[in-house]
Structure 1
Amino acid sequence: MSIHKSIVQVFENNMGNRITPELAAGMVRSLIDILAAGVQQQAQADDAPQQDAGQQEGSHGMV
């Protein structure tokens, strides 16, 4: 699920609920978790091409 859809879902799930400190804190925690997961996925995606390039360079060595 995309980050945008996850954030929308957090707010849709709480529509109509009276905002209490507990609910607000839970929503903030959910948003932080969603953003942290997105950053982790982006970091893994950024590292993947570098690892592939290193493996390709090593495969062209002398036999």
Structure 2
Amino acid sequence: MSVHKSIAQVFENNMGNRLTPELAGGMIRSLIDILAAGVQPRPEGEQSQEQENGNGVV
């Protein structure tokens, strides 16, 4: 499942629920877990496409 779909699912699962500190904390932990799982470390010396282009556009 893609990161985008996983994040959307976190919010869809909690739609209609009253927002409590516990629910908000759980949602934040879920988002952090999803984002952490989606980060792929690059081997040393390998540059991203943005760095190779070097056009400075953000």
* TM-score (structure 2 length as normaliser): 0.70
Structure 2 counterpart of 1:30: 30
Query: Segments of 4+ in structure 1 off by > 2 A?
Result: none
Deviation at 1:29, TM superposition (A): 0.1
Gaps of 5+ in 2: 47-58
For the pair shown, the structure with the greater C-alpha radius of gyration is 1
Please show how residues 15-54 of structure 1 align to structure 2 within 5 Å.
15-39=15-39, 42-43=40-41, 46-47=42-43
- Would you say how many aligned residue pairs link Structure 1 and Structure 2? 44
* TM-score (structure 1 length as normaliser): 0.65
More helix by share: 1
State the identity as a percent.
80
Gaps of 5+ in 1: 51-63
